[in-house]
């Protein structure tokens, strides 16, 4: 398979993994997926990886004494595959600063909220509890600040009066599946980079810094 060498990390169902695999197969997304790694043995996404013929690995975090030991073993496993990009696709682990620093500029995550709103877990329930009118998904570079790295792009959905956490999550997930492959294409084609400007980390697309007002894709509020 031609394309940018990458490794994908998952923890659960692997729906974003599936969206990426579909984009590779059907839309020519230029990625060479060299491994799929899960920190949870029961992750359903592992079976998707196997069906796609991809090398898949389990590194159970519960078997390690601390976060640093797990991250060191994870880093060694990833680096065996010599990736130019590490993709977090529903990987439910806070990563140590040393790990993040090792992959600086080539570690990308997708988060189910419009960051900086609702970092962490249970974003859909929290959005409903807060009474916000819009919710969504964010693709961002990973830095030492948890869910605080430079935003690359966001897509939003309207929060409806009758929404539950599940119905809201389903609409946000559809947006995740749309925007993540697009961002990965930008990176694989050399158009997207993480750079330092004026003492801050910035996402740079086609040589232009992505400012906050540009993160939300125009016309993407969906009912």
**For residue 178, what are its two tokens?**
């749309």
Q: Is the pLDDT of residue 213 over 90?
A: no
Q: What is the pLDDT of residue 221?
A: 36
The CA distance from 119 to 22, in Å, is 28
Give residue-wise pLDDT tens across range 12-71: 999 999 999 999 999 999 999 999 999 999 999 999 999 999 999 999 999 999 999 999
The CA distance from 50 to 36, in Å, is 9
CA 38-41-44 angle, to 5 degrees, is 75
Give residue-wise pLDDT tens across range 109-148: 999 999 999 999 999 999 999 999 999 999 999 999 888 9
The CA distance from 179 to 176, in Å, is 5
The CA distance from 29 to 185, in Å, is 6
Q: What is the pLDDT of residue 212?
A: 60
Q: What is the pLDDT of residue 218?
A: 44
Q: Is the pLDDT of residue 222 over 80?
A: no
Give residue-wise pLDDT tens across range 65-93: 999 999 999 999 999 999 999 999 999 99
Q: What is the pLDDT of residue 211?
A: 78
Q: Which residues are catalytic?
A: 111
Q: Is the pTM of this model over 0.85?
A: yes
Q: Which residues contact 104 (CB under 8 A, 6 or more apart)?
A: 143, 194
Give residue-wise pLDDT tens across range 144-164: 988 899 999 999 999 999 999
The CA distance from 172 to 223, in Å, is 11
Domains annotated for the chain, with CATH where assigned, are 1-103 (3.40.50.170), 111-223 (3.40.50.170)
The CA distance from 123 to 60, in Å, is 25
Q: Is the pLDDT of residue 182 over 80?
A: yes
Q: What is the pLDDT of residue 216?
A: 55
């Amino acid at each position: 398979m031609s394309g940018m060498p990458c490794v994908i990390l998952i923890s659960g169902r692997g729906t974003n993994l599936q969206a990426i695999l579909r984009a590779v197969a059907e839309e020519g997304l230029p990625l060479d997926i060299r491994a799929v790694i899960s920190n949870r043995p029961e992750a359903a996404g592992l079976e998707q990886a196997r069906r796609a013929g991809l090398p898949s690995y389990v590194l159970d975090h519960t078997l390690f004494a601390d976060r640093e030991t797990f991250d060191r073993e994870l880093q060694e496993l990833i680096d065996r595959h010599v990736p130019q990009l590490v993709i977090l696709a529903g990987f439910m682990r806070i990563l140590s600063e040393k790990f993040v620093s090792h992959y600086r500029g080539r570690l990308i995550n997708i988060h189910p909220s419009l960051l900086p709103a609702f970092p962490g877990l249970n974003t859909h329930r929290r959005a409903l509890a807060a009474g916000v009118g819009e919710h969504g998904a964010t693709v961002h570079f990973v830095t030492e600040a948890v869910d605080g790295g430079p935003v690359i792009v966001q897509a939003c959905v309207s929060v409806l009066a009758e929404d539950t956490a599940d119905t809201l999550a389903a609409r946000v997930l559809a947006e995740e599946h749309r925007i993540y492959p697009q961002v990965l294409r930008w990176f694989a084609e050399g158009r997207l980079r993480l750079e330092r400007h004026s003492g801050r980390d910035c996402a740079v697309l086609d040589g232009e810094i992505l400012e906050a007002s540009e993160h939300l894709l125009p016309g993407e509020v969906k009912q």
